[in-house]
């Protein structure tokens, strides 16, 4: 995270235009970040500081209140998920990480998150603003996730980076299949991936990031 913030500033982005955020201040502090709302420096705070939209957004099966960080404060979002096993959807990464942009994400876990996961990622503001993914696959929990269990830790030692959705979806699945211990991938998860891909406009493959 710190390296990415440094690179953004080297590219000409002002420190005050960079915001590091998560679902809550507590989650950020537990990860070692310091809460900061000073607009002259890199800001860092959670959805509980920014608040949520009062009017819900409806997309397919989901009716959610989006964080104002996404709707009002950001022009572009760099998604930074961590690759982990998930007891419901099989694997949590770039798509499942979008549960961090809504209030009460626990309400979208029925039926192994199908079709809620796909519908959430198809919300126009999510599709328009989440433009790049830098995925952390340095180390990963391959069993009984997403809670950390050191006995199920493995080390892919990789970053999964992409500017469009489908390359990094495919890469995360390839990484798990080719390099990792056995990890179940639920049929509902694959169906959700297909739904999100099918909802996107046609794109031309130009190579892997």
Query: How confident is the model at residue 154, as a pLDDT?
Result: 87
What digits encode the pLDDT tens for the residues 152-209? 898 988 888 887 555 455 555 555 555 454 444 444 444 444 444 444 444 343 333 3
Q: SS3 string of 18-63? A: CEEEECCHHHHHHCCCCCECCCCCCEEEEHHHHCECCCCEEECCEE
Q: Model's pTM, two decimal places? A: 0.80
Domain residue spans of the chain? 76-199
Query: How confident is the model at residue 170, as a pLDDT?
Result: 53
The token pair at 1 is: 């995270």
């Amino acid at each position: 995270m710190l390296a990415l913030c440094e690179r953004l500033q080297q590219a000409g982005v002002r420190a005050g235009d960079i915001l590091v955020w998560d679902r809550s201040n507590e989650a950020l502090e537990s990860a070692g970040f310091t809460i900061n709302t000073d607009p002259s420096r890199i800001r860092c705070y959670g959805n509980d500081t920014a608040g949520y939209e009062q009017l819900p957004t409806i997309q397919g099966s989901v009716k959610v209140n989006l964080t104002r960080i996404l709707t009002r404060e950001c022009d572009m979002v760099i998604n930074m998920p961590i690759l982990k096993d998930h007891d419901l959807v099989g694997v949590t990464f770039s798509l499942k990480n979008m549960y961090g942009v809504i209030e009460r994400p626990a309400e979208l876990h029925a039926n192994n998150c199908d079709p809620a996961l796909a519908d959430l990622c198809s919300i126009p503001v999510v599709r328009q603003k989440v433009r790049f993914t830098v995925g952390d696959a340095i180390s990963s929990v391959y069993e009984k996730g997403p809670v950390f269990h050191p006995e199920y830790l493995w080390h892919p030692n990789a970053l999964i980076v992409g500017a469009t959705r489908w390359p990094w979806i495919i890469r995360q699945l390839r990484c798990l299949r080719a390099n990792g211990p056995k990890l179940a991938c639920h049929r509902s998860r694959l169906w959700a991936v297909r739904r999100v891909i099918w909802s996107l406009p046609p794109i031309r493959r130009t190579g892997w990031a």
